[in-house]
A and B are shown apart, each in its own frame.
Chain A
Amino acid sequence: MELSDLEMAHLKRLARLELSREETAALQKDLSDILGYFDQLRGLDTGGVEELVRPITTVDVFREDVIRLSLPHEKAMSLAVEAQEGFFRVPRTVEEA
């Protein structure tokens, strides 16, 4: 199961990972190998079997609609990599389409 260059480029973008050419090539090979290994699952008959998302299912878990104390502003800001005027400062974002 080979991962094409195009697929690899698309994946990097989708995963927001910038990689050097060498890293990309190495990973492309690794991923192709791993995918090949995963293909072993294809042979298994899972007809009529439902997906198991949560191994032990709790159900109907809720929180009552009560307001709780938020983090103090300074605490929240102390976590910031870059803060400005009480906001989190980030590189320029293009307006969402």
Chain B
Amino acid sequence: MFEAVIGLEIHLALRTGSKMFCGCAAESLGLLPNVNTCPVCLGLPGSLPVVNREAIEKALRFSLALNCQVPEVTQFHRKHYYYPDAPKNYQISQFDRPVGEHGFVELEAGRRIGVTRCHVEEDAGRSVHPPYAPYSLVDLNRAGAPLIEMVTEPDLRTPEEAREFLVKIRAIAQALDVSDASPEAGKMRADVNVSIRLPGEALGTKVEVKNLNSFKSVQNALAFEIKRQTDLLESGRSVLQETRGWNEGGQRTYSMRSKEETADYRYFPDPDLPPMRVAEKWLETVRAATPELPDAKRERYRELGLRAFDAGLIAFDVELATFFDRAVRVYEGEAQLLANWLNGDVAGHLNANDLALSRSKLSPENLASLLTLVDEGAISGKTAKDVLPLVIDGGDPKTIVEERGLKQITDLGAIEALVDAVIAANPAVVERVKENPKVINVLLGQVMKESRGKAKPDAVRELLNEKLG
């Protein structure tokens, strides 16, 4: 009877070479602590920030992809709070003139989810809290790395929808080369706001849930919260407005009652950073440089004849889509066939061997070549499947077929000779065929065995049928 009202706040690590305001590397995963710092990101006295142009461009790109309105002038503000991994004790962020506002994203079934705003800011470093120690350890390698934060309107209604939204944002971010957007690598973080209400009534009390490390956690946390809030209201109690954490092990949210009153961030425009004009000309360059969005890709694949399911699968995976586009260019057969192989046998092999497409040696040209060999009848479908692992390992299909003599025997004369030989060698089986036509498969099998799988099965069957009536 209650409906859930859900909003998301998503942080994406921007894919640039250097940090937001200094020349240290933006990527610091796996580095020893404090090897990727400089006076600026350490917040040393006298240091000053200078904006990374690429970060703004990518933010604009993302903003436009989310259908946001971009301001004529955008600027940075200082957001004040004290925490050792934010060495200046303020974060350079955006307040009143963010890079994008009033946008939207469309999900399946035409559901339009509003995007309130999109802005850029710098990331903090990392703190490690050794158990039972009276101290914490701070690593500032990541301090100053560029982030995009996007906030949605509370338009989502179910945990599944929230998950779908996250998947879509990830796909867009990856397709646009704006962010790797993988929650596992810490490149995408989401906080949720959720309340419940009776349909048509005013909004209920909002609860924020943080520390969600995967899309699954988001979905589960939402489901848990909705149930928790429903139970509270149904038992006559009320929902407390608070921030809660998610306990992955126990699969429950918990209260994070902090000693802070509502934070007073004391925003003011950062005097060290001049405003940035976003002229139409710049936006045009941004649009021109923007890679194709997943939705557009999916449309294009449908037009190529792909089934909706395959089109979607490939369009929303940057690696697959890039591979597919290259293959389709050199393959003259049905695009759907390519899709079948990619999403079927290729995917199967890669998964079984824990291999990513990009890390395999499979080239789009070689896959196309393999499929062409089947189309031409040079090899059978089964042979193709058999040699697929070799092709995935970098082998050229034509060479493999040559070297291993895998070419299908298509010469009817040769096949007929084999068929005759098998018929002659198996008189008992031939007898049984008269009673049970299905037994012809045994003879078929024999021919295939004699030919080491290279006889064209259709031709064999046809000849057998002819000869045995």
Interface residues of A (CB under 8 A from B): 14, 16, 53-54, 57-71, 73, 76-77, 79, 84-97
Given contacts A91-B134, A95-B129, 13 further A-B contacts (CB under 8 A): A58-B274, A60-B276, A62-B56, A65-B55, A67-B25, A68-B23, A70-B37, A76-B37, A84-B137, A89-B136, A91-B135, A92-B133, A92-B136
Binary CB contact string for chain B from 59 to 76 against chain A (1 if under 8 A, 0 otherwise): 000000000000000000
In Å, the complex CA distance between A2 and B445 comes to 101
Shortest B133–chain A CB gap in Å is: 7
Residues of A with C-beta under 8 A to B136: 89-93
Residues of B with C-beta under 8 A to A14: 264, 266
Residues of B with C-beta under 8 A to A94: 258-259
Shortest B462–chain A CB gap in Å is: 65
In Å, the complex CA distance between A54 and B24 comes to 27
A67 & B23 in contact (Cβ 8 Å cutoff): yes
B50 & A93 in contact (Cβ 8 Å cutoff): no
A70 & B127 in contact (Cβ 8 Å cutoff): no
Pairs across A and B, CB under 8 Å, 17 listed: A53-B269, A54-B274, A57-B274, A59-B277, A61-B273, A63-B18, A63-B52, A64-B54, A66-B17, A67-B17, A67-B24, A86-B32, A88-B139, A89-B136, A91-B134, A93-B83, A97-B243
- Give the A-B contact count at a CB cut-off of 8 A: 132
B34 & A73 in contact (Cβ 8 Å cutoff): yes
A70 & B82 in contact (Cβ 8 Å cutoff): no
Residue among A54, A58, A65, A93 with max Cβ neighbours from chain B (10 Å): A65
B138 & A57 in contact (Cβ 8 Å cutoff): no
In Å, the complex CA distance between A61 and B128 comes to 36
Shortest B18–chain A CB gap in Å is: 5
B84 & A62 in contact (Cβ 8 Å cutoff): no
Q: Does B256 contact A (CB under 8 A)?
A: yes
Residues of A with C-beta under 8 A to B16: 65
In Å, the complex CA distance between A3 and B264 comes to 18
Q: Residue of B at shortest CB range from A87?
A: B137
Contact-residue size bin, chain B (C-beta under 8 Å from the other chain): 35 or more
Query: Secondary structure of the B side of the interface?
Result: loop
Residues of B with C-beta under 8 A to A68: 18, 22-24, 38
In Å, the complex CA distance between A58 and B277 comes to 11
Q: Residue of A at shortest CB range from B24?
A: A70
A66 & B23 in contact (Cβ 8 Å cutoff): yes
Residues of A with C-beta under 8 A to B256: 95, 97
B84 & A88 in contact (Cβ 8 Å cutoff): yes
Residues of B with C-beta under 8 A to A89: 135-138
B51 & A65 in contact (Cβ 8 Å cutoff): no
B54 & A65 in contact (Cβ 8 Å cutoff): yes
Q: Residue of A at shortest CB range from B42?
A: A76
Q: A65-B17, A87-B139 are in contact. Are A70 and B25 (CB under 8 A)?
A: yes
B37 & A71 in contact (Cβ 8 Å cutoff): yes
Instruction: Pick the contact of A59: B24, B128, B140, B275 (CB < 8 A).
Output: B275
Residues of A with C-beta under 8 A to B259: 94
In Å, the complex CA distance between A69 and B18 comes to 11
In Å, the complex CA distance between A50 and B268 comes to 14
